[in-house]
Chain A
Amino acid sequence: MLLTSVIIILREVLEAALLLSILLAMSHLLHLRLRWFYIALAAGAAGSVAYGMQLAAISDAFDGVGQELLNAALQIAIYLLLLVIAPLLVVNYYTGERYRGILSAAMTVAVATAVLREGSEVFIYLSAFRYSPQPWSGVLTGALLGAGIGFSVGALFYYLLVGMPRRRALLVTCVLLTLAAGGMVLQATQLLIQADWLPAQVPLWNSSVLVAEGSLTGQMMYALVGYEATPTSFQVIIYSASVATMALLLLLTRYHQKKIRTVRDVSQAR
């Protein structure tokens, strides 16, 4: 019981914690007040409980694939929010404090959504022990251990990012957000294939010999970039397109912001 609950909680916490630590590091880089983060956590936790309690009804919707559709919608929502968040990071980095309200709001919703998605699974898993005659202690100890390890990895990740020189921190954060965004879309396509809303295909390759999805490396890569050992050609195309969209958007923003800054610097020099 103990080990099972360590693994389950660790997996879920890790998936959310990595995105959380990237956005927190970003918030630090831009000297944003942390209020948005606490609101996001509270909203995500409340959402987890509500989602968990309604899951039976959600699952039955849309001919029994409501769970897949809602989860896919949540993943796509996070992707769209990241498309707003990452370019605004670049804007704030180059030309000072702008659109900070929109940025905070987008980060709040993104983190709340990520917490809701993973937190609801934790809630459902733990709520099962209401029926259990066994003492809670093993399960709870395991859950605390799992959460502890997961958040520690997130904290480590956060301090790695925050400890970098500003310029490199910006680059690394943008690359991580781009890959994480691609991973969100990839997971959404996976769910839509499972729901039979997207066509299933024979996998394009099988890299599980190199990195098995169930392994520790596989789980980390899944949490970070949405690693998939056996993607279909459709998924590879969608992943590439999502990553390319984000990368292009970031490069355009950077080009534009640098130009604004140069013009401003020149006019100030005169």
Chain B
Amino acid sequence: MTDYRCRGVVRLLAVAALALLPPVAQAGRPVFEIEIRGHLFHPSELVVPANTKVKLIVYNRDPTPEEFESYELNREKIIMGGQRAIVFIGPLTQGEYPFFGEFNPKTAQGKIIAQ
């Protein structure tokens, strides 16, 4: 697909999405940060408020790429080495939501605790 057509689709989506967004969606969201170092998440447990959409920033301090993934949160995003990724999560009902690094699942494990 050409870049031009791609941008067209994105623009179309943008218009459709903006029409659907409730006005509150533009308001600032609580921000939380996680780091990936040595294929581990720091912190590996993160407490977030329940029933609130939050902005999660994941810093990948490793030189290798990682994929932030969680079936429970329905999230999946590749983070290249040395990059940061923004992932919006929630609103979550109270409970624990495991996540993992798909490229290094043996060590990169963590969970979000909504309370």
Chain A residues proximal to chain B, CB less than 8 Å: 4, 8, 55-56, 59-60, 63-65, 67-70, 72-74, 76-77, 109, 113, 121, 124-125, 127-128, 131-132, 190, 192-202, 208, 212-214, 228-230
- The closest CB in chain B to the CB of A212 belongs to B71
A73, B20: Cα distance in complex, Å: 17
Contact (Cβ within 8 A) B17 A197: yes
7 contacts between A and B (CB under 8 A): A55-B78, A73-B6, A73-B13, A125-B67, A193-B74, A194-B76, A197-B21
Contact (Cβ within 8 A) A73 B9: yes
Q: CB within 8 A of B80: which of A4, A56, A77?
A: A56
Contact A65/B86 with A121-B78, A131-B64 known, Cβ cut-off 8 Å: yes
A200, B25: Cα distance in complex, Å: 10
A193, B75: Cα distance in complex, Å: 9
Q: How far is the CB of A196 from chain B (nearest CB, A)?
A: 4
Q: How far is the CB of B82 from chain A (nearest CB, A)?
A: 8
Most B C-beta atoms less than 10 A away, residue of A64, A65, A113: A64
Answer whether residue B115 sits at the interface, using C-beta atoms and an 8 A cutoff: no
- The closest CB in chain B to the CB of A200 belongs to B53
Contact A131/B103 with A68-B77, A70-B10 known, Cβ cut-off 8 Å: no
Contact A8/B102 with A70-B10, A198-B20 known, Cβ cut-off 8 Å: yes
Q: CB within 8 A of B103: which of A4, A77, A195?
A: A4
Contact (Cβ within 8 A) A197 B14: yes
- B7-38 to A contact mask, C-beta < 8 Å, 1/0: 00110011001001110010001000000000
Contact (Cβ within 8 A) B80 A55: yes
Interface of A is mostly: helix
Contact (Cβ within 8 A) B65 A128: yes
Contact (Cβ within 8 A) A196 B20: no
A202, B91: Cα distance in complex, Å: 7
A79, B109: Cα distance in complex, Å: 34
Q: CB within 8 A of B85: which of A64, A121, A128?
A: A64
B residues in contact with A208, CB < 8 Å: 71-72
Give 19 new A-B contacts, CB below 8 A, not counting A72-B13, A77-B1: A4-B104, A4-B105, A55-B78, A59-B78, A59-B83, A67-B85, A69-B13, A70-B10, A128-B81, A128-B103, A190-B74, A194-B74, A196-B88, A197-B13, A199-B22, A199-B25, A208-B72, A213-B71, A229-B71
Answer whether residue B90 sits at the interface, using C-beta atoms and an 8 A cutoff: yes
Contact (Cβ within 8 A) B83 A121: no
A77, B9: Cα distance in complex, Å: 8
- The closest CB in chain A to the CB of B98 belongs to A214
B residues in contact with A4, CB < 8 Å: 103-106
A124, B103: Cα distance in complex, Å: 10
B residues in contact with A67, CB < 8 Å: 77-78, 85
Answer whether residue B111 sits at the interface, using C-beta atoms and an 8 A cutoff: no
Q: How far is the CB of B30 from chain A (nearest CB, A)?
A: 13
Q: How far is the CB of B97 from chain A (nearest CB, A)?
A: 11
Contact (Cβ within 8 A) B85 A125: no
B residues in contact with A193, CB < 8 Å: 74, 88
Answer whether residue B84 sits at the interface, using C-beta atoms and an 8 A cutoff: yes
Contact (Cβ within 8 A) B91 A76: no
A59, B63: Cα distance in complex, Å: 16
Q: CB within 8 A of A124: which of B17, B29, B80, B85?
A: B80
Contact (Cβ within 8 A) B87 A194: yes
A121, B91: Cα distance in complex, Å: 28
